[in-house]
Structure 1
Amino acid sequence: MQEMELLKQRLLQAVDEHQEELLGLVSSLIQIPSENPPKDSTDVTHFVYNYLKKNDIEMEIHEASPKMYNLVGKIGSPEGKKLIYCGHTDVVPAGDLSKWDFPPFSGEIVDGWMLGRGASDMKAGLGGIMFAAVLLKRLNVELPGELVLAIVPDEETGGEDGVPWLLENNLIHGDGSMIAEPSSPNHPTLAQKGSCWFKLTVTGVPGHGSLSPLEGVNAITDAIRAIAEIRKVYELEIEPPEEVKEILRVSNDYMRLHEREKYEGILEKISCNIGTIHGGTKSNVVPDSCTVEVDCRLPFGITQNEVYALIENKLDEMGIIYQIEPFGFRSNANFTSPNDPVCRAIVDNITYVTNEEAYGVMQWASSDARHFRDYNIPVLQYGPAYLPSIHGYNEKVKTEDIIRCAKVYLLAAIDFLNEPAS
């Protein structure tokens, strides 16, 4: 135990001594635009590959589809346990540049804040896991197991070219995984709501606008009626299974403690966002088609298929002619036990580094975590972030959070890989 304590202190000191390298790495990642869409991870992949190779970490490059590259690197002993540290290289588009207070790909540090698109989601976390692996390699830390870096594209669109592609092609394996996605400083996320994205296409009958509503069937007005019915899924009372009630209780308590009372209850509800609507050709033609994109997030206790069945039954009763086509993020609610070794390794070392209470909570969104759980790999998410800025203008993260997370990544890898397999 004394030897392990000395190693941990050595690693913490190393992060402090090389923090400028860590921050410079994150800044460089932000300065490489990797917006998705479009699907092109070429430039950021080359940078990551060259940085890790320069630091003696051999990386395999796997092209899942044109210009969509996955990187897999390993350090330590392949004979022991395997821990996957995962991060995605893509970011959401910067949007209207005039609404930013600084260039979105600046990567500048101002008053203790790292600035730019991807600062919180999730190039600071990506830089942290890269830096952790480099320090372990540089300091010749003997690992009784294997730390696997899985650096992927295509997370922000819910695409299939990243984590699911690596898993399906048997290119990564693990006894546990940590994704460096944004989280609260002391509260990693160990459960996610399900995701049910679908496109509703309503079909009508064209006619002359001057005769509407006597002539034709208006697809837009039918879509409006359908939308009103679909939004009622939020009102459903859903009973969660016993096995997740404690996670829900802790997560709701967390929201109250952190002044998020207005969101209380969302974990047990089907959220419903009408994201886009397109229909018609011109004002004097009865529209014969209208397409609506919907994002529902599902609590424990209901599945995607059950939601589709509920919606379809209602629309059928209303006599609407429609088609539902799933797309994007699709999953049922999923979780990892807080008692799993990978969760304990992260949570215990947050407390070790910060001297503050840490515990896992549930996330109301979705992520790549669902794919790991599909393959029976326990997983949680922990990363530096200023949560209000994610996917918005003026995205940023505190530099102290970047440094803290890198320390946790290092120590958690040591604890997890040194613990005997169960």
Structure 2
Amino acid sequence: MTLAAYDIDQAGNVLCTYTKNANDDDIQVKKTHVPLGKAIFYAFLPAGYPHSVTDDYLAYQTYDSLQAFSSSIASLLANRAVLEGLGVGNASQSPTGALVLKIIQDTFSRLATILFAHRLGQAIEPECKTYRFMADMFNDSALLLDLLTPVLPFFPKICVMVVSSILRSLCGIAANASKASLSAHFAKTGNLAELNAKEASQETVISLLGMLAGYAVVHLVQDRTVVLYWMVTLIMVHLYMNYQGVRCVKMLTLNRQRATIVFSEYLHTGRILTPTDVAHRESVLRNVNGEMMSKDGDYHGTCELGSYGDVMVSDRWGYHAYKFEMDDYFMGVWHWRSKFVIRIAMKEHTLPSAGGPLLAWFDAVAHAYHFSSALKNGLGSHYENEGPHGYVSSGVKAGVFQALRNVGWDLDNVQLETRSPVRVRTGGSDHRKTPEKAQGPILLSKTD
């Protein structure tokens, strides 16, 4: 009788086979031969691939590598133009003057980094796909500006170089933060650090190949008109590859756009969309601010999560305003012609992990979906009646949320808020009611 044991990796591949005969104490060891090409391929992928990452990892990394290759070539062309603009090769130019320009660039770049991180740092994770694409738009805009430096006078040259440095700082913040969020999405087995390390290896090889190809292009292309044609072509390829890369990512968290798509589809057809379905529908640059639409398409608007003042104090000139209180939130609706704006202020006891903001967003999508029918009886009936004008019972919402979990959505990490979350603390009465005990919306104010 022969006994066998195997060493396997995370993907289930056999690394080594151990065999032993029942009448023999010797153990025979046989290592599995791995072809050279396959070994090199796996050297740049996370251990346990493909089981250790999500199924959209390889597609994204392929597009990311292609866009990095084209960007490396374009960067060399732009860097040559910058060096010419700084006077490299011109004996009349002072090294001190070039150093002063560099200091001015770095000063504005670092200030822009601080301001951008403070203003939009919390918005990057919910909209990581959008900001990942925008990062390359910033970078490509900077490359085009760099081409102007050799032909500009001194002071316009300073302005162009400063703007270019600011755009690169915006690119750095947006790219690094969005990549961190995407890496966290791809990592399935707690292998985030290793995944980032392997991505660095991939970028190293791609950048090296891009530099070698870029050297040939820089050596052969000297005419400025031809350089511009090359630059425009490379940038178009760069942006296209980046766009395709972020489009193929199937995020499992619900941000404003994805939540609106999911809830609208449920209200329209009763179908629960999977992350793959939503990835095919969501836009990278459009409809990222929670745009909503009525069932017939006659009314459209946006929804925002904000403070008590945003809902109860602020008003929009010329709009009809309706403001209501629910157990977990305050809601205001402003309507003018075919447009509406919905604002929500969450109460203190609601937590993102408990689905509070997501429940409120569901209500907002339902109200928007039934906007046309609600207006027939006055917009107030849109909230005061538990009828066909938008109210969805807590039991139905609980069933929808469970169905969302079943198809793969992560509802414990809701990403509806793009700034520091604000909660409303109320006094004088206990507002900590459960949805099942809710008595329905309370109309607080109405302005015709």
More strand by share: 1
| TM-score, scaled to structure 2 | 0.22
Instruction: Find the structure with the greater CA-based Rg.
Output: 2
Higher helix share: 2
Q: Of the two structures, which has the highest relative contact order with CA contacts closer than 8 Å and spacing of 6 or more? A: 1
